[in-house]
Amino acid sequence: MAYLTDELARAVPTCDTAGMDEDSCWAAVQRRDRAFDGRFVTGVLTTGIYCRPSCAARHPKRDNVRFFATGAEAAATGLRACLRCKPDEVARDAEAVAKAVALIAASESPPSLDRLAEAVGYSPFHFHRLFKRATGVTPADYARARRAGQMQRSLEAEPRITDAIYDAGYSGPSRFYDDAKRRLGMTPSAWRNGGRGETIRWATAETDLGTMLVAATKRGICRLSFDEDESVLHRRFPNAAIEHGGAEMAELVRRTVAAVNAPEKPHDLPLDVHGTAFQEAVWRELQKIPAGETRSYAQIAAAVGRPAAVRAAGTANGDNNVAVLIPCHRVIRTDGTLGGYAYGLERKEKLLRREKANA
């Protein structure tokens, strides 16, 4: 094939890549980061091809690389699509995920993986990986989280539980009640009525980070915070039975204090936390960050398959209700500064310093 001449190579510009700078693009290429597939393509002037950022081919020299927002822009300069990574199929992949999301939204019950894969023309195995890479969660997890969101909206809008069941897309009450207990942490009527009929036990204890509030349902810890008292629980669940934990909660409090005082050590504390599909994907990613290390908000967004959703990742990070146990303190800004922390930057800095020293 005819490679680009030096004169033409110098004339090939790096095009706008959705707001990313060249260093970020090159770093994604070096990592072969699939989360950036579709955001830009990499043109290799010496071979005359353009690739996905995740292409498994040997990395070219940096001087021979140009970045383009789309394959069409790369092709307009004379480059051809790589036959190995097939960068032009990224658009097809995105369309497949979008079609599956629409199918999930329109289905009365969550469609099976086989049905989704058949509808978009992929094998189940390939589509499962594709969907998780694009959204950060599996098709089943996405369907469950979406239904949980619809469940909450229906419970808030419909005067009768029966109406909410069908408005949320359920064909009957059995699955609705099972899902509600798992996703909301309580029965539908209790959730809609501010926790009526539910018991949330709480306690405070002194830790190296100050006074800690820990609250738990019978399923696990639903809140861990600092500088708060039980009034925060009354505001969220005004009709729940908010009770002091007493001796019944002593062992859980002891284990929680130990986890807070030594965050670099793994814990097996039961958690009862629920969120949207995106929030839960972010929280799972936070739990993967090793003690003593940090990630940027941009890295978290990329890791859950939404590299452009940096602000949303930051919001999901802040929506974490169990501080330290889900280590949102390990996420910092791209420039290395601490960013925000609901319980004060002094605590965040202390946590990171301790973890780095003891990891």
122 and 216 housed in the same domain: no
Whether 58 is in a domain gets the answer: yes
Tell me: do 228 and 307 sit in the same domain.
Answer: no
Residues 151 and 227 in one domain: no
Structural domain that includes position 294: 277-358
Residue 82 in marked binding region:
yes
> How many CB atoms are closer than 10 A to CB 216?
24
**Whether the Cβ atoms of residue 243 and residue 200 lie closer than 8 Å to each other:** yes
Coil, strand or helix at 67: strand
- Say which of 15, 25, 222, 328 is annotated catalytic: 328
Cα gap 174→310, rounded to integer Å = 38
Residue 267 lies in a domain: no
Q: Is 25 annotated as catalytic?
A: no
Point out the domain boundary residue: 85, 107, 139: 85
145 within domain boundaries: yes
Q: The CATH number of the domain where 320 resides is what? A: 1.10.10.10
Q: pTM for this one?
A: 0.55
Q: How many Å apart are CA 320 and CA 280, to the nearest integer?
A: 9
Domain assignment present for 57: yes
Token look-up 């602000």 returns 311
25: annotated binding-site residue? no
Structure tokens at 192: 């809609």
Residues 188 and 257 in one domain: no
Q: Are residues 187 and 112 in the same domain?
A: yes
Residues 169 and 241 in one domain: no
Q: What are 21's two structure tokens?
A: 């700078």
1 in a structural domain: no
Count of the separate structural domains present in the chain: 4
Please list the pLDDT of the chain residue by residue as tens digits (359 residues): 344 444 444 444 444 454 567 888 899 899 988 778 888 999 999 999 999 999 999 999 999 999 998 888 899 889 999 999 999 887 778 788 888 888 887 776 778 999 999 998 889 998 898 888 777 778 888 887 776 666 555 544 444 444 444 444 544 444 544 554 454 554 545 554 555 567 899 999 999 999 999 999 888 898 999 988 889 888 877 777 899 988 889 999 999 999 999 999 989 999 988 777 788 889 999 999 999 999 999 999 888 888 878 888 999 999 898 989 999 999 999 888 998 898 889 999 999 999 999 87
Is there a single domain that holds both residue 96 and residue 184? yes
In this structure, the answer to whether residues 170 and 213 fall within a common structural domain is no
Q: Do residues 220 and 170 both lie within one domain? A: no
Distance CA 85, CA 55 (A): 5
CATH number, domain with residue 212: 3.30.160.70
Does the annotation flag 222 for ligand binding? no
Q: Are residues 76 and 146 in the same domain?
A: no
Supply the CATH number for residue 60's domain.
3.40.10.10
Show which of 85, 106, 126 is a domain's final residue.
85
Residue 266, in any domain of the structure: no
> What secondary structure does DSSP assign to 188-235, as a single string?
HHHHHTTSTT-EEEEEEEEETTEEEEEEE-SSSEEEEEES--THHHHH
Q: Do 115 and 185 have their domain in common?
A: yes
Residue 270 lies in a domain: no
Boundary-marking domain end, from 139, 167, 192:
192
| Whether 53 and 140 share a structural domain | no
* Largest interatomic CA distance in the chain: 79
**Which residue among 15, 25, 51, 222 is the active-site one?**
51
Tell me the CATH number at 182.
1.10.10.60
Let me know if residue 271 belongs to a domain.
no
